[in-house]
Each structure stands twice: as structure tokens, then as C-alpha cells.
Structure 1
Amino acid sequence: MPPVKAVLVGAGNRGKEVYGKFALEHPDDLEIRTVIDPIRERATPLAERVGAPNSLTDWDSFQRTDEDAIIIASPPSMHYTHATDAMAVHDFKHVILEKPISTTLASCNLVAEAAEKYEATVLVTEVLRYSPFFIAARDFIREGSLGPLQYIELVHLSGDRSFQHSGVRGNEATQEVSGPTTLSKSVHDFGILEFLAGDSAIGAISRALPPRFHSGAAYWEDVPDRCIEEDGKRCGYGERGSCPFDAVEYYTGPNAMVSVAQAAQMCDAPSQADLLKVIQEGPYGRCIWHCDNDVVDAYEAEVLWAGGLRARFRLDANYPCAPTRKLEVRFPEGKLEGDLRMNKLEMDTGTSRQSLSGRIGDVEGAQGTHGGADALLIKDFLRSVRGEEAELVTSIHRVLGAHTLALVANVSQATNGAYLPLYE
């Protein structure tokens, strides 16, 4: 069977490192025919890398030819336009849409309505539902060996360097562009709570801490606005090595971000001079204390279900160690504990502990990004395109509840942690 031919919209981190990489590793399954990104220095190199004959910088100039499907990995603020155009204008019946669906509940619902109107399959990348780790946890809950489910606690310990890069200096720093943190960063965590509970939540309470980095809270007095100023002079703190957030060291030093080239919206292999130019002129060279970020980096939310089940979710995006998610599920006769990065699940009855990690290995594809979930989602989507049996566990109508929950949690934060029902 020939590979599925696809259009890729967005040549940033997800476009390149997930879909581009998958196409290179599975050429018999996925062939990217067109890459669309407004930044030519990203679109053209990625198209060349994956062997796509077409690269465009203007979405409006795209004309569909023989493509079977479309993958939308553009910024969240563009998801509504790209998704609805893909279905209404270009008649795509198979769509991968990066999370979140869109940045407001109204626009999320409009995309879902378009999917129904045009009879399109829209698979949203709430990829944790494809994670072998969480599938194993869900199956254990369903078995009921420790009694009925009583409580879920999920903690996302997100790498501080990653958030400082994208959530302070980068393209996820403002709600206008990416939506609130509850949506852009955590919607699939809320989705996992519903996935494990096996039902839709009915309400939420959420409280957030002020952003760690924000204008006016300077780490030192008299800090310049940029790590390299217009005249080429470096910030004195960075030059002396006394600032842990200095962009020059952050992006060009021995501990530089791996994805800086694409994150800085440059070509695949920039020179040192290219990087220094971006730091001097672009958003990633701003002093971390002088950015326009308005998204929170630490919060917790409590979620309620109709039967009395409760769950707690906590995000800490200032975690200095390797990022992970930690899970605790409680039952009358014990609890289940797990660590996603360690691929580890354990049952604790109070008198004994038993490893259940073998269950994770029993699920095909337990390795890779998000614990293998990205590749498993793409493979499931491709089966659907070919007309084969597919689970489609993150189809748009299945994940709308998680988006509602994430946005309600954000409103709760803005109203001093008030309890808010999801549905009136």
C-alpha cells in the first residue's frame, strides 16, 4: 500500500521533530508533499530534508493536489483558520491538529462543528491518551483489583529551561498567541484525568502563582533590556557569568538548548555568528526579566466528577531536573504510583509493593517522545486515512471536554480560585 500523502503546516519544533522525523523514519507510511511555514528559512530546509517537492510561506497560496491528509502544527492562534480552511476550502477529510484545538472555547466549538459539517476526522494531539504508561494505568483502574477509584493526583514537572525559552521569551509567552497555560501546556493533562476517570468532569477550582519572570521584578538592578545590546555590548552580568539566564550562554554555551536553531526561527545549521545575530535582534535575546510574558508557570487545579470522584493536577514549569509526570491513584485497598519518564508503575497495598512496569512494556511503542505516544497517534491516524480500523481516542469530539476543563480552570484562576461548573 502506498504511503499516505500529507501537507504539513508549521515547520517549528513539532513539525520538524515529530512529523518530519516520523516521515523520514517511516517513508512507507507517510510522505510529506508540501511544507507550509511563514518563515522560509524553516519551510525550505524541512521540505528538502523530507523530500517534499513543495514549500510555501503563504497559507492562502496553497492549492490541494493529490494529498490525502493535512497535519496542522502551526501556532495555536492560527489553528482555527487552518483547520476550518482545510475542511471547508480544501475538502480535507483527515486532519491532525496540534493541541490545543484553538485558543478560546467558542473557536474550539466552531472547529468541532466544522468537522461534523464536513464529515472530517480531526485527530487532536492530546497524545498522552496514546501513552503506553497511561494506558497501563487506565487498564489497572478498570480491573478494580484494589477497589473502586477514589482519587487521582497528577503532577507535571516541566523543565525550567524549556519554559524559560518558550513560555517567557518565545512563542508561548502570551495568552493572545498560545492561550492560557492551562490550555497550551496542560490540556492533555486534563484530558488524562478524564481518560483515567472514564467520565467527563463537572467542575473545577484552580489557583496560580504569579509568573516567576515578569517585567519589573528584575533579578538585579540596572539590568539592560537585552543580553546583547544594539551596539553589540553584552550585559555585564552575562559577560561575567553571574546570570544563569544569559541568552548568549543559554543558546551558544556548552549547555545550549538542543532546538535553538529552529526555535530561534533560523535554518537547520546556523553558525555561531548567526545565533549571536538572532540573540542581538530577536525575542530570544531579551533579558528574561524584561519580556512581555503573561502566562503562569505554576498552578494547581482540583477537578470534580458527578459521583464524587476528585482529582488534583499540579504544574511546575520551574523544575530544574529532567522533566516528567508523576501519578498517584488511590483506592480503598491501596494506591497506584507512577513516573512517566522512568516508565515506572507500582502498586502499594500498605503492606507490600509490586512493580507493574511490565504492563507498560506490553504496549507496542512504549519508547520515544511522550513515552511513544506521538508515534502511536500518527500510526492510528494513518490507519484511519487508509480506511483501516483505528481507535481515534483523541478525535475532536472526545477531547472537547478537556479543552472546556482547561479553559474553566483558567477562569477560576482569574476569579481567586472560585469553583466553576463546566456545564450549566
Structure 2
Amino acid sequence: MPRTDAQGFVTGRSGAPLDRPLTLAVLGAGARGEAYAHLAAAHPDRARVVAVAEPRERVRTAFADRHHVAPESRYATWRELAARPRLADVAVVCLPDADHLPAATALADLGYQLLLEKPMATTEAGCEQVADAARRSGTALAVAFVLRHTPYTIALKKLITDGAVGDIVSVQHLEPVGHYHFAHSFVRGYWRRESESSFLLMTKSCHDIDWLGHVVGRSVTRVSSFGSLTHFRPDQAPPRAADRCVDCPLEPDCAYSAVRLYREGLRVGGPKEYFTRVVTGGELTEDAVAQALTEGPYGRCVYHADNDVVDHQVVNLEYEGGVTASFTLTAFTPMEDRRTKVFGTRGQLTGDGRHIEVYDFRSERTVRIDTAAAGSVADDHAGGDTGLFDDFVDALRSGETERITTGLDATLASHRVVFAAERARRTGTVVEL
């Protein structure tokens, strides 16, 4: 069966292997778009970037030059790119959340295969529209639920499938967002307001809900949830707190000081450097940080911002057969990896994103496994970016599109659970699926 359309671009059909690299159009040249472009550049015999859409001229030019994108294939917006005849096999959609729906549906209708950042869309109806467009166009779609693709998850899932703890009875899972990460992204930053992005469980932890379903291997039947915006609000502000950290007499002793976070980002590397790059547009200088703190949204007091998303939430899930899971999402933690306990009929499994401990009830012994030996954890998301990208590219190039593990049906089911959990939180009810 032919794998390409009349223009020579890959279709979503299964069939013969492709004998050339996949071509990619990257929509959004921020951190996520650059991550996938970097993975493509590492293996140009498998995939290469041929077009980009990015509104920030300096970022667009630097990205396009770095990845050798022709001048005529550089666009200021995704709509400009979508107005052209199809330019590539795959559209890598790394746009703001609100643009996922219109971009994904338009690009699917043009014939592009889609690698789509989570969430699919910011409403349940929007997710259904994306799914309908993919089905209508025969599009191979993968949503970037990178947690499924880490060496840690692969090892953990195999242990469970092989019966290391018997049958799963319940799961306890924690997403420790980290205090300064939460202040940056969900109090001062892009995801602070539902009207501009979506609710917190969707924007931060829809992949945790997906991951739990992947680990348990069953469908959710009932869900309840509780949570609120408890701390980051005006009535919690200490006396004399100013509207901006640079003007605040309490700043040196404040746990959420923007001054300390972004200035340390100039020196210490890691997540703090990443956050500093976000607020300065990539310019790691004292002057750029000072301007951002004085004029931009990231210099605001966490108690006097315009945020409205919750700062902590719990979700209780019941799966087919009576298996249960509890999920906690909270701002009030150090920056650390997720923590999980799986309680089975023959043992207990404990994981921290890298290490797995399996306690056996019969022998009363614990086996400890370091999953770093199973693959690289050097890239973002502990190897998940590489695993997701490689699996998607290999599925399309091999002609075996059914191998896409974060495909349409599984992804849509996970999103439905997230929307159900948020309905449960808002209504104070148990929602049945």
C-alpha cells in the first residue's frame, strides 16, 4: 500500500517503510519545539526540520538558522504556515494551549501527521474536535505524554506486567510541582489563569492521570476530587508586602522571591536558569533580569498577582475491577521527582522517577533497581522526550502507525478522566464515566 500522498508526503496509513527522513514543520520555537528539533538534528537520516512558525522574530531567526530552515519556510504565525500548501510530513505543535484546537484541526485537514503537545485542547468538546479531525483525515496523531516513554516507566510497567507485586490493588502517586516552579508558572506565568490556558489538573498533570491509567492498565469508572487556591491570594499576603518583589521590604526573607529565583538562574544552571531564560527571552544578563523584575509579570508578588488556578488538588480514581488510585498535586514541595507506591497482592513497589524498590511479601526482601542503566536520563523528562520522539518517528517511517502508544483513543480517554475529575472538584460529587 502506498505510504505517501500525491505530493509525496507521508500519510497516516500503515504500509511499506519510508526510505527517506521524515520532514517536520515546528509550530512554536520555544523550549518544547527546540527539544524536538534538537532530537531531529541528532539523527538527520531519520528526521529533519524544514519549516517553522514562531511570532518572536529573534527566536524564530535563531531557531531557523540553527536548523537550516530555508528563508521562505519561516513564518510568524501558525496560521500563515497553514495558509500555504502542505510543507512537511509532520507538524510538531508546541503552541500555547489555547491554539492547540484550531492548529491541530487545520493541520490535520491539510494532511499533516501530528505530534501534539499536551493537552489536546482546553475543553472536552475541543478534544473531541481534534479527534474527529484526525479520524476524518486519517492522521497519525501522538500527544506528548512523555512520562510513558521514560526508561523508568518502561521498567516499572514491565515489573507490574510480569507479576512482581501480584495483582494491583491500589496506587498512591504524588506530583511535587516545587514551590518556585509553581510560583513561576502558575502564579506569575502563562498558566496562572484558567481563561488564558486551562485548569491546573489539565495544564500540569493530565500526563499523570494518563500515566496512572497506563500503569494500572484498566479504564476509570468513577472519580472524585478536592482542591482550592489556598495560599497565593491577597488575604494571605504578609503585612507590608509590596506589589513587586523589587520594591518589597520583605523580599530577602520571602520563600517566593522573584529577585532571588531569577538572579540565581544566572549562576546556578538547571531549572532556575531555564526559568530565567523564560522571563528574559533567553538573555542571561543582569540588565535583562532587572528589566523583567521591574516591568514584566514575573516580578510580581505572589500574593498580588492575578492568578486563579488551584495550588493543591487530590484526585481519587476507581478503575474497572475495583482497583483504586489516589493522586496528589501540590505546589508546596521542593523541586523533586514524582513519588509512587503500587500496592499489590504479593508485594509493594516504590518508585521515585529513577529508582524502583520491590518488596516481596513471601521473602520479606527488597530488590532495588536503578533504571538509569536502562537508557539515557540526560535529556528533559528523564529520557521521555527521546523515547516519545523516537517511537513516533519510527512508527511513521516503518509504516507501523499502530505502534504509536500515545495515540488517539488512549489520549482521548485520559483527557476525559481529567475533565471528569475537574467536574467532580467543582461540584463536590463523584463522577461516573
Q: Taking structure 2 as the reference length, what is the TM-score of the superposition?
A: 0.87
1:241-266 Cα deviation digits (max 9, x unpaired): 23333323221234572123542262
What's the C-alpha RMSD, in Å, of the aligned pairs? 2.1
**What is the CA–CA distance in structure 2 between the aligned matches of 1:162 and 1:64, rounded to whole Å?**
40
Instruction: Name the counterpart of 2:101.
Output: 80
From 345, 368, 371, give the equivalent of 2:356.
345
* Structure 1 pair 421–213 and aligned structure 2 pair: CA distance change class (3 A): same
* Structure 1 pair 318–356 and aligned structure 2 pair: CA distance change class (3 A): same
* Structure 1 pair 20–145 and aligned structure 2 pair: CA distance change class (3 A): closer
Partner amino acid, structure 2, of 1:23: A
Instruction: Name the counterpart of 2:38.
Output: 21
> Offset at 1:198?
1.2
**What is the CA–CA distance in structure 1 between the aligned matches of 2:288 and 2:134, rounded to whole Å?**
42
Instruction: Name the counterpart of 1:98.
Output: 117
1:35 matches 2:64: no
> Offset at 1:10?
1.3
Q: Percent identity?
A: 28
Asked if the contact 1:224–1:287 (Cα under 8 Å) also holds between the matched residues in 2, the reply is yes
1:305 matches 2:328: no
**What is the CA–CA distance in structure 2 between the aligned matches of 1:323 and 1:287, rounded to whole Å?**
24
Partner amino acid, structure 1, of 2:241: V
**What is the CA–CA distance in structure 2 between the aligned matches of 1:273 and 1:328, rounded to whole Å?**
46
- Between 51-60 and 202-211, report the one with greater CA deviation: 51-60
From 96, 112, 136, give the equivalent of 1:117.
136
> Offset at 1:336?
1.1
Instruction: Name the counterpart of 2:306.
Output: 292
Asked if the contact 2:179–2:256 (Cα under 8 Å) also holds between the matched residues in 1, the reply is no
1:58-115 Cα deviation digits (max 9, x unpaired): 2222124541111001111110011011112x321x1100011011111001100110
**What is the CA–CA distance in structure 1 between the aligned matches of 2:106 and 2:276, rounded to whole Å?**
30
* Structure 1 pair 118–179 and aligned structure 2 pair: CA distance change class (3 A): same
Instruction: Name the counterpart of 2:154.
Output: 135
From 402, 405, 409, give the equivalent of 1:397.
409
Instruction: Name the counterpart of 2:391.
Output: 380
> Offset at 1:141?
1.8
Asked if the contact 1:365–1:376 (Cα under 8 Å) also holds between the matched residues in 2, the reply is no
1:148-186 Cα deviation digits (max 9, x unpaired): 221111111222221111111111111122211111111
* Structure 1 pair 249–144 and aligned structure 2 pair: CA distance change class (3 A): closer
Instruction: Name the counterpart of 2:418.
Output: 406
**What is the CA–CA distance in structure 1 between the aligned matches of 2:172 and 2:191, rounded to whole Å?**
26
**What is the CA–CA distance in structure 2 between the aligned matches of 1:362 and 1:261, rounded to whole Å?**
32
Asked if the contact 1:152–1:310 (Cα under 8 Å) also holds between the matched residues in 2, the reply is yes
Asked if the contact 2:229–2:308 (Cα under 8 Å) also holds between the matched residues in 1, the reply is no
Q: Which one has the bigger helix percentage?
A: 2
Question: How many corresponding residue pairs?
Answer: 405
**Following TM superposition, where does structure 1 have runs of at least 4 consecutive aligned residues deviating by more than 4 angstroms?**
361-367
Q: Kindly report which structure 2 residues correspond to 1:4-15, keeping only aligned pairs within 5 A, or say none.
A: 4-15=22-33
**What is the CA–CA distance in structure 1 between the aligned matches of 2:63 and 2:276, rounded to whole Å?**
13
Q: Taking structure 1 as the reference length, what is the TM-score of the superposition?
A: 0.89
Partner amino acid, structure 1, of 2:104: A
> Offset at 1:368?
3.0
1:181-200 Cα deviation digits (max 9, x unpaired): 11111111111111112121
**What is the CA–CA distance in structure 2 between the aligned matches of 1:142 and 1:243, rounded to whole Å?**
46
Asked if the contact 2:240–2:249 (Cα under 8 Å) also holds between the matched residues in 1, the reply is no
> Offset at 1:403?
0.7
**What is the CA–CA distance in structure 1 between the aligned matches of 2:39 and 2:381, rounded to whole Å?**
14
Partner amino acid, structure 1, of 2:88: E
- Between 256-265 and 272-281, report the one with greater CA deviation: 256-265
Partner amino acid, structure 2, of 1:7: A
1:115-169 Cα deviation digits (max 9, x unpaired): 0000001100111111221222222222224432211111112222211111111
Instruction: Name the counterpart of 1:371.
Output: 382
